[in-house]
Structure 1
C-alpha cells in the first residue's frame, strides 16, 4: 500500500469514493504514515505525563519531606505580605475564579458548536470529564496519610486539585475545537489563565503546589491519550507548516518564559526549602521561600504542559478528516484515471484484482 500513501498535496475524497473508505484506515496503519507518527508521539507523551504524575505523587505525597514542604508552601502564604495582602484586599477573586471556570466550559462547547465540530466537541468535553473523574478517584482512593481536623474527622485529600484539573483540562482541550491558524493563540492564552488560577488556589491556601502540578500533568495525559486515539482511527491529517507559529508568538513567548523561569527558579529554591525542621517553630523567611518555590514550580509545570501539547500538534490538523491522499501507481494508470481529477479506488475499472 506504500505507493498509494500520499499524505500531502492530495485532493479531498470524492463523494463517489465511499466504497474506498477502508483505504484511509489501511494507509493510517502504515509504518511510516502520518497518523502512525502522530499516534506514536502522543502515546509517548501520555506515558511520560503519567510517569511525571507518579513521581510528583511519590515525592510530594508519600514522603514525609514532601508533605512537610507542601505544608510549608501553603503556610508561607501568610509570611509573604504581598500575597497575603492581595488575597485579603480582593475577596472577589474567589468568585471571579469560579465564574471564569464556568465561562471557559461554555467557551469550549460554544466554539465547537459554532464551527459545527460536534464530534470533536463531544470528545473534548469527554476528555475534561475523564480528567475530573480520575481526579475524584485519586482524591478518594490514592493511598496517603490524611490529617485529622479538630473534631477527629479525616480531612479529604486535595491531590490532584479539581479546580486546576478543570482549568487545564479545558485549556488543553481547546486545540480540538478552535481553528488551526488560531490554535496557538487561544490555547496559549487559556494555559496562562489556568496557571494564574492555580497560583491563586495556592495563594488562597486551597491547594498545595503538588496538587496543581498533578492536575496539569493529568490533563496533559488525558488529552494526549485522546489525540492518540483519534490518530489511531485516522482522524488526523497534515497541516500547513508555515505561518502558524508567528500568529501565536504573542502568547507562546510569555508562556515559554513562565515555563522556563518557573522551573529554573523553582528547582534552585527547592534545595534551600527541603531542609525544614520536622517540628515547629519555623523561620518565617523559610516559609516565605517555600511558598515562592511552590508557586514557581506549579507555574512552570503548568506552562510546560501547554507548550508540550502545542508542540505535539503543531503540524497536525485535528478537524476530523482523514489524511488527504492521492492514488497513483500502475493500477491507477491502467484504469485511465486523469492526473488531476476525481479520486478513484486503487484497483482498475474492470475490478481485475486479487488480495493475497
Structure 2
C-alpha cells in the first residue's frame, strides 16, 4: 500500500478543491522535483561547509604553523597602529557589540512573530541554538595542543568563536523569517554586520582569525542542513524570478566586494606570513601583515557564507506550502482529463487504477 494513501493514514490532509496534495507528495520525492533539487543543493552545501570547517581546524589548530600564524595575527594588532588606536579610542564598542547581538536576536524572533510564521521562527531560533551548542562542544572537547606555559596563550581557546557564531547564525537565520522580496537586502546587511563583529573580535584580541572563519562556516552548515530538512518535508516551493535582485543590490554588492577582496587579499598575503620563525623575536612588519591577512580572510569567508546561502535560496519561497503538481503527458490527454482544469484527486476520470 502506498505511504500516501489516506486509507492507511499516510496523509492526514483531506482533499480540497484545487488541492493536488497526493501528487505534490509523490512529486516531492521525484528525482527532478523542485524539492529534491533544493534538498540536493543545500545538502551538498552543508557537507562542503563541514569539510571546510574540518580543514580550517586541522590547518590552524592542529598544526604548529597554523597556531603560530594565528598567534602572530593576534599579536599583530598591536603592531598595526591604526587598529590599536581605533580600539583604544573606542572602549564602548564592547558594550555596543553585546547590545547589537541582543537586538539582532530580538529582531529575528520579532519578525517571525509579526509575520505569523511561528514554525519558521522556531526553526530559525533552533538553528541558532544548535550552532551555539556545537560551537560550545567544539571549544570544550575538540582536541588541541596545550601550551606548556601561559606565555603562548595570547587569546583563550575559542575555536569557533561563540560571539561570531551567534552573529552569523542570526544573520543567516533571517532567511527563514524575512519576506522573499526583501530577503537579499536584509540578509546581506545582517551578514555585513556579522563580518564587522568578527573583525572587531580579531582587532580586540578576543579571538584568532581561524575562530571567526570557523564560526561563519559552522553557521552556514547548520542553516543549509535546516533548509535541506525543510525541502525534505516539502516545505519549499518555487518563487518568482523577478524583482528581488535589484532590490537587494545595495547589500549584496558590498557583500560580494568584501568576499572577493577579502579572499584575494588574504590568500595573497598568506604566502608571505606563513614563513614566520618558530621562536621570537618577530619582525613587527610581519606581525602587522599577519594581522591584516587574518582580517581579510575572516571577512572574505564570512561574506562568502552569506552569498552562498542567498544563492541557494534565490528562487525558493519558504512562506507558502508545497508546489502543486499537475498531471501531463499523452496518458492524461488520452484519458480525457482537462489540461488546465482543477484536479482534486490522484486519479483520472475513468477510475481505472490500482494502488500498490
Normalising by the residue count of structure 1, what TM-score does the alignment of the two structures yield? 0.91
Runs of 4 or more above 6 Å deviation: 1-15, 151-155, 330-337
Q: CA deviation at 1:8?
A: 30
Q: 1:8 to 1:210 in 2, by over 3 A?
A: farther
CA offsets 1:156-178 (integer angstroms, 9 cap, x no match)? 52000000000000111111110
Contact conserved, 1:331 with 1:348, CA < 8 A, in 2?
no
Residues 87 and 203, structure 1, Cα contact 8 Å, conserved in 2? yes
Shift of 1:11: 20
Q: What aligned pairs does 1:1-356 form with structure 2 within 5 A after superposition?
A: 16=16, 21-147=21-147, 157-328=157-328, 340=340, 342-348=342-348, 351-356=351-356
- Aligned residue-pair number: 356
Q: Structure 1 residues 141 and 173 mapped into 2: Cα distance closer, same or farther (>3 Å)? A: same
How far the C-alpha of 1:289 sits from its partner, in A, is 0.5
Give the unaligned 5+ runs of structure 1. none
By how many angstroms is 1:292 displaced? 0.3
CA contact (8 A) 1:262 1:296 kept: yes
**What's the CA shift for 1:246?**
1.0
| Displacement of 1:78 | 0.6
Corresponding residue SS for 1:19: coil
Residue by residue over 1:105-141, the C-alpha shift from the partner in whole angstroms, topping out at 9 and shown as x without a partner, is 1101111101111101111111101000100110000
Contact preservation (8 Å) 2:217, 2:305: yes
Distance verdict in 2 for CA 1:5–1:170, change over 3 Å: farther
Identify unmatched segments of 5+ residues in structure 2: none
Q: Please say if residues 3 and 329 of structure 1, whose CA atoms lie closer than 8 Å, have aligned partners that are also in contact.
A: no
Asked whether the equivalents of residues 77 and 84 of structure 2 are also in contact (C-alpha less than 8 Å), the reply is yes
Alpha-carbon distance in 2 for matches of 1:9, 1:82? 67
* Contact 2:35/2:232 (<8 A) preserved: yes
Structure 2 vs 1, CA of residues 148 and 25 (structure 1 numbering), >3 Å: closer, same or farther? farther
CA contact (8 A) 1:46 1:220 kept: yes
Question: So what's the TM-score if we normalise by structure 2?
Answer: 0.91
Decide whether aligned partners of structure 1 residues 155 and 70 sit closer, same or farther in structure 2, where only a CA change above 3 A counts: closer
- Asked if the contact 1:172/1:306 (under 8 Å) is kept, the reply is yes
1:233-277 superposed Cα distances (whole Å, 9 cap, x missing partner): 111111111221111111111100000000000000001111111
CA distance in 2, matches of 1:10, 1:239: 28
Is the CA contact (8 Å cut-off) linking 2:15 and 2:21 kept in structure 1? no
